[in-house]
Structure 1
Amino acid sequence: MGRKSEVALDETMDTTVNGEAEPVTDKDAYEEQCALANEIASPMANRKLAKKVYKLIKKASGVKTAVRFGIADVSKGLRKNEKGIVVLAGNVTPIDIYSHIPAFCEDKGVPYVYTPSRESLGLAAGFRRSIIILLIRPNAEYQELYDELFETCNLLVPNTKEN
């Protein structure tokens, strides 16, 4: 019936989240993630392109209306004929969740590219949660990098219409 001893919390305790703070782009880890991608994940961004995609996502997520996250929001944007680049995660299961998006992008003339990890997409956007799909819209703050990736993604998916 005595008092329980109170344990003082250390003020200098490490409060960081376990895991990475940056998307993985080193060679071995990237190849492991690519091996875990699903069957429809094509065209898959190579390591160099994925690094540029993550950099663009990081810049675009700082602008309030530049990025649409999630299947419902991206589908709404595509239905409204918004132009941009669609980035999909390659390790999503079940694939029925977003298997209609590539055909929808080709019909609308929007380039798309897969990255191997949904966790890396979330980290690049500044979230602790994973993101399976996002639409990056053009903006003056990152226009040069956007144009470069837009052209590269158009070469990866030759069936998309010209904007």
Structure 2
Amino acid sequence: MTKIKAQAEACSGERTYQELLVNQNPIAQPLASRRLTRKLYKCIKKAVKQKQIRRGVKEVQKFVNKGEKGVSLLSGIMVWQETHCPMKVYCHLPVMCEDRNLPYVYIPFKTDLGAAAGSKRPTCVIMVKPHEEYQEAYDECLEEVQSLPLPL
């Protein structure tokens, strides 16, 4: 059995939040709690329906660098996965977010992040933008993410 198949089988079953934290990367801070992770997944699902997300390192980085046409102020919540992907792929993004005052948070597993975004493929970063259709859920998530302590 190949390594990829073994990982896929291990990922296919239901896992608890504590099981997902076994392979936690120590530099993945701030880490979302189980409750906040669920709220973020629900907010991401609502944002997908309104097409208000950016998915993947390239797309998110381009959005953070350039912004959106006609929008001078960036707003949104950055959500990263913290395991099973080399951190060097997206380790520059937290610094970019801190420079632009964008809130960000890490969650435990990327296949769940991809599934919440309506994709069959896992993804390591998603940016959720605000929209009036799910503003209440977005504000609640934003408040909790901003209350988390940033790493030194």
TM-score normalized by the length of structure 1: 0.77
Q: Which amino acid aligns with 2:112?
A: S
What residue is the counterpart of 2:44 in the other structure?
A: 57
Quote the offset at 1:39 in angstroms. Answer: 2.4
Instruction: Name the CA distance, whole Å, in 2 between partners of 1:154 and 1:114.
Output: 13
**Number of residue pairs the alignment of both structures matches:** 135
Gap runs ≥5 in structure 1: 1-17
Aligned CA distance change for structure 1 residues 158 and 36 (closer, same or farther; 3 Å): closer
Aligned CA distance change for structure 1 residues 69 and 43 (closer, same or farther; 3 Å): same
2:59 aligned residue (57, 73, 81): 73
What residue is the counterpart of 1:133 in the other structure?
A: 125
What residue is the counterpart of 1:155 in the other structure?
A: 147
What residue is the counterpart of 1:9 in the other structure?
A: none
SS at match of 1:41: coil
1:87 lines up with 2:79 in the alignment: yes
Q: Which amino acid aligns with 1:120?
A: D
Residue deviations 1:53-82 (CA, integer Å, cap 9, x gap): 000011111112x00001111111111243
Instruction: Name the CA distance, whole Å, in 1 between partners of 2:129 and 2:85.
Output: 26
* Aligned-residue RMSD, C-alpha: 1.9
1:145 aligned residue (127, 137, 144): 137
Instruction: Name the CA distance, whole Å, in 2 between partners of 1:158 and 1:42.
Output: 7
Structure with more helix by fraction: 2
Moved over 2 A (4+): none
> RCO (CA 8 Å, sep 6+): is it higher in 1 or 2?
2
Quote the offset at 1:158 in angstroms. Answer: 5.3
2:115 aligned residue (111, 123, 126): 123
Of structures 1 and 2, the larger Rg is shown by 1
1:97 lines up with 2:83 in the alignment: no
112-121 vs 36-45, which deviates more?
A: 36-45
Aligned CA distance change for structure 1 residues 37 and 158 (closer, same or farther; 3 Å): closer
Residue deviations 1:66-105 (CA, integer Å, cap 9, x gap): 0000111111111124310000001143210111111111
